[in-house]
Amino acid sequence: MDRYADQIDQQILHPLGTHPWPLVRAFARTGIGRWMDMRVAGRLDRWFASARASRGTSRAMDAFLRVPIARRPQRTQPLVVHVIGSLAAGGAERQLLYVARESRRAHAIDARILTMLPLEGANAHYRALAEEAQVPVATAGRPLDLATLQELKRNRHGTWLFARLHPAERAWCAELYAEFIRLRPDVVHLWLDGANVWGGAAALAAGVPRIVLSTRNVNPTHFPAMDCTGFLPWYQRFATDPRVQWIGNSRAGIADYAAWIGIDPSRFHLVLNAFDPRVSRMPDAARITQTRNELAPHGAALIAGVFRLADEKEPHVFIDAARQVLRARPETRIVIAGDGPLRTTIAAMIADEPRITLLGRIDDVAPLLCAADVVMHASRVEGTPNALLEAQAFGCPVVATRAGGTSDAVDHGCTGMLVDVGNANQLAQHTLEILRDPALRARLSMQGPPFIAERFSVSQMVTKTIRTYGFHQASVA
């Protein structure tokens, strides 16, 4: 991520000087300025840095809002650039791919994906899916070609904005800014907070006419491990620009972000996640039987959890509920598919319990969800939990906490059961109720697939998303 940013620093910003006032830069070029004692110059540098820290950053943010919309080339298809951190195995990444694929397939939109991190290892999880859908994917930052460099030098006002940002912020913004200058997109669609903030600033500086910010959970202050320093002032400024559109994938998430930013929730477009049966395919009966025999032999009941082993997913509450279920039904087997920073801690918690198994991250969870009798979910905060959508689509009842968008994702009493956040007793009780009542489980199982098909279709999700782009398109075929 240092190619565009380094070259912008070296070839454009450095020759301009680093001080924000033209008279100071002019004085520095005079003989007297060059003669000045370096200690004095050092004190001036510190003074300028302090001034920028106290008022320059705020003014720099405001300056981004004053960049006019740039002229774009004539195209036969509108160009939409989707920006996200990576193509790792996450829910937002999968939804992005659905939007980009269907935009190209059925909406005559030139949709492309731009990642902020290199597509290596786990960060390239969905790359094959993008290639299968013939969606172009690139990583922001590359050696500057001559045409882009010349355009950046001509656009001094936009480029100069980055000289007023903190270097840690400038690098992300500069990479994306140069890409937007090169591509001249009609729409920049940003996914998740990091891309929203740095991509949003870059898109404003490049004069992009329509910017879509896609929030996928509750606001980032709910995640202690996430460094969201400086996000709120940017979000508040984005809210003042009519070019910026907002998407949330749950009612709870929209309400939370709106209260944090200080805007009316009606500014957000509610776009629920989609389940795509063409990607998450129902395995055949032999595969389901094999999975069940491996994980819960001799006809034992099987409970599954599919979630990241992180604080916000409350794995401790899940384990508490699991132990209660095992005390009531000792023959039950419980498995957790997922990985994360708490894996070592959770492994130590269940070291004395062989009936609870950590499976690690699984690329294809469909056989597990189809084999399970119940999927249990104990999260504290959620956007729209894709694992629960998949479970219900495959006919597996769910018992989950009312966290964020989970209330939108589960039809309580019809496709599963919802309980209070943090309440392991309720999780265990409802899970046991389903295990003990085959008729109840059969009813919940039968109602899951039509509920998901009607409410969480790819067609609905993509059509609602494209409406935020500001140009009319027909619905997905």
Convert the pLDDT of each residue in 321-336 to its tens digit: 999 999 999 999 999 9
pLDDT of residue 228: 82
**Mean pLDDT value across residues 33-57:** 44
* Residue that has been written with the tokens 């355009």 in this structure: 151
Give the residue-averaged pLDDT of 170-188. Answer: 88
pLDDT at position 155 is: 66
Q: What is the mean pLDDT of residues 370-390?
A: 95
Q: Specify which of 146-160, 173-187, 352-366 reaches the highest per-range mean pLDDT.
A: 352-366
Residue 138: what are its φ and ψ, rounded to 5°?
A: -145, 165
C-beta separation of 333 from 250 below 8 A: no
> CA-to-CA distance for 317 and 245, rounded, in angstroms?
37
Handedness of CA 283, 285, 289, 292 (dihedral sign): positive
Strands of 302-306's sheet in order across: 356-360, 333-337, 302-306, 374-377, 398-401, 416-419
Q: What local confidence, expressed as pLDDT, does residue 226 receive?
A: 81
- The C-alpha atoms of residue 152 and residue 146 are separated, in whole angstroms, by 10
Q: Which domains does the chain have, with CATH numbers?
A: 1-274+457-477 (3.40.50.2000), 285-455 (3.40.50.2000)
pLDDT at 244: 97
pLDDT in tens, 214-249: 999 999 999 887 878 789 999 999 999 999 999 999
Place of tokens 């740039």: 70
pLDDT of 1 = 44
Q: What pLDDT score does 33 carry?
A: 44
Q: Which of 256, 216, 225 is nearest to 383 (CA)?
A: 216
pLDDT in tens, 78-109: 999 999 999 998 899 999 999 999 999 988 99
Query: Residue 9 pLDDT more than 70?
Result: no
By mean pLDDT, which of 146-150, 253-257, 360-364, 466-470 is the weakest? Answer: 146-150
Q: Percent of the chain, pLDDT > 90?
A: 69
pLDDT at res. 62: 78
Residue 32's pLDDT is 47
Is 112's pLDDT higher than 90?
Answer: yes
pLDDT at position 475 is: 39
Q: Has residue 45 got a pLDDT over 60?
A: no
SS3 assignment, position 12: helix
Average pLDDT over residues 111-138: 94
Mean pLDDT, the chain, integer: 86
pLDDT of res. 57: 61
pLDDT of residue 39 exceeding 50: no
Out of 35-39, 159-163, 357-361, pick the least confident.
35-39
CB burial class (10 A; 0-12, 13-18, 19+) of residue 222?
Answer: middle
What pLDDT does residue 471 have?
Answer: 82
DSSP at 412? B
In this prediction, residue 19 carries a pLDDT of: 41
Listed in sequence order, the residues at least 6 apart from 220 whose beta carbon sits closer than 8 Å to its beta carbon are 193, 226, 228, 231
Both tokens assigned to 66: 């004053």
Q: Which of 417, 382, 423 is nearest to 399 (CA)?
A: 417
**pLDDT number for residue 408:** 93
Judge whether residue 167 has pLDDT over 60: yes
